[in-house]
Structure 1
Amino acid sequence: MEILISNPLPLFFTVYLIIYLIAYFVIFRNWARKLRPEASSCAISLAHGTPAVILATRAILSDPTHDFNSFNTPLQNLVLEYSIAYFLMDLVHYLIFFPSDVLFIGHHLATLFVFMTCRYVVYHGALAILGLLILAEVTSFCQNVWTLAGARRLDVEFAAKVYDLLSPPFYALYSVVRGCLGPYFVYRMFRFYLSGAADKVIPKWVWISWVIVVVTAISVSIMWILNLWIELYRDRKKIVEKKVR
């Protein structure tokens, strides 16, 4: 049975705001002031990521049509609004604490454009957007734990151990998802829309903009994880060289 909520966006946004404030003023109150905003952002990301994957998967499986141009189901719209609320809250976080971080602000604005046009403009294509959401958020839990551990690894021994232990498997999972599964899914999505099968319900300017946003995001992700692999290789190489000496 689908759970329907009247006008859920303000409710979801309020929940994320409360989680952020609890994280900032309670959970991470003993952390250095410069680390608390990022840690609080990780808290709302944790609250969004895995639940979004579960909800999006259910929303996709419950849709009998399974087409990239299908009319959005009520559950699919609910998941879209759940994610819109998260990105709005995290966007506020960046505008307040990191207004010069143009890359992340641009990423959030572009992501909101995709989600909001799907939900409020064309009312179709949620299957494609939620498929991308699953691929984007399936690594969220690992990434947030890795980020939190990395923030404290210089002053907390346990955090350093978690960071070092988690880095290789997280990098591997992220590489597979963003480097293989993501591009393949976008290829299928692009091929479907290019055939004209969705032109009656999703204007070309909409799906073309979706593809551009997603391809750009995946490209940036691949470059990011590639740099992390290079850093990991250099760090491990230095450790080996020290042992040899």
Structure 2
Amino acid sequence: MDVVIPDYSLFPSFFAMFCLIYLLGRLVVFRKWSPKNRLDASSCFISLFHGTPAVFLALSAILSQPIRGFASPNTNFQNLVLDFSIAYFTTDLLHYLIFIPGDYLFIAHHLATLFVFVTCRYLVLRGAFAILVLLVFAEVTSFCQNAWTLAGLRKEELPTAARIYMFLSPPFYALYSAMRGFAGPVFFYKMSAFYLSGKASDVIPMWVSVSWIVVVGAAIAVSILWISNHWMELFREMNQKEEKKGR
């Protein structure tokens, strides 16, 4: 039996769901953590409920699309996935605006991401194929990243958390590098070449296509810089440990 996907927006329902998940994490799951760690952990908590489900939803929506192309009309299933992600990023954005307003990088990232998702979902009603493929590349590392982040928040207090953090670092960094340092850029190049060729300009305004290219390109560049810094930090920590053993 086929599942019927509604053609109306499910953003309000998803937004309410993520707000409830956030409150559950903040008030129940992490209530005994320090105030600063509780804020970061609550953000990770809602990300856990978005990242991996978004990957499976996006893959299903992409594979079920009859005709896949950078300018293809969005299907109802694809719009549902976009609503799901828009609701998550809106919830997390509100978290940063209210509790961590000084984290300009994360706020800018969320605003830029929401711009791409919202214009795709509600303005041009096309291009979800490209956006969802990029979403898969971005979120396939989500579970590992959130577990790594949560362990990192407690690594100074709990030896077990420190061991988990160190254990997860190499595989997480490797997967992140593969997705955002290789697969993402390759797909981004193909997407950019198509949009800049003007082949989609009759259905997707050029200013929208160019804005997507700018936002995604900047996100990839920042991601590569971020993971490069973490690789260097990991190598420094490993070298320091080797030096201590040699003494």
TM-score normalised by length of structure 2: 0.97
CA distance in 1, matches of 2:203, 2:162: 51
CA distance in 1, matches of 2:177, 2:44: 20
Q: Which residue of 2 aligns with 1:146?
A: 148
Letter in 1 for 2:155: R
Q: Which runs of 5+ in 1 are unaligned?
A: none
Partner of 2:199: helix, strand, or coil?
coil
CA distance in 2, matches of 1:147, 1:3: 37
Matched, 1:119 2:121: yes
**Structure 1 runs of 4+ with >4 Å offset:** none
Q: Which residue of 1 aligns with 2:177?
A: 175
Q: Which residue of 2 aligns with 1:160?
A: 162
Offset of residue 3 of structure 1: 4.2
CA distance in 1, matches of 2:208, 2:143: 30
Q: Which residue of 1 aligns with 2:103?
A: 101
Does the CA-based 8 Å contact 2:52-2:142 persist in structure 1?
yes
Deviations 1:208-239, CA, capped at 9 Å, x for gaps = 00010000000000000000011001110000
Does the CA-based 8 Å contact 1:3-1:75 persist in structure 2?
no
Letter in 2 for 1:192: F
CA distance in 1, matches of 2:3, 2:177: 34
Letter in 2 for 1:177: M
Q: Which residue of 1 aligns with 2:205?
A: 203
CA distance in 2, matches of 1:156, 1:24: 20
TM-score normalised by length of structure 1: 0.98
Does the CA-based 8 Å contact 1:2-1:75 persist in structure 2?
no
Percent identity, please.
59
Size of the aligned set, in residue pairs, is 245
Q: Which residue of 1 aligns with 2:91?
A: 89
Q: Which residue of 1 aligns with 2:5?
A: 4
Q: Which residue of 2 aligns with 1:223?
A: 225
Does the CA-based 8 Å contact 1:53-1:138 persist in structure 2?
yes
Offset of residue 2 of structure 1: 4.1
Q: Which runs of 5+ in 2 are unaligned?
A: none
Letter in 2 for 1:4: I
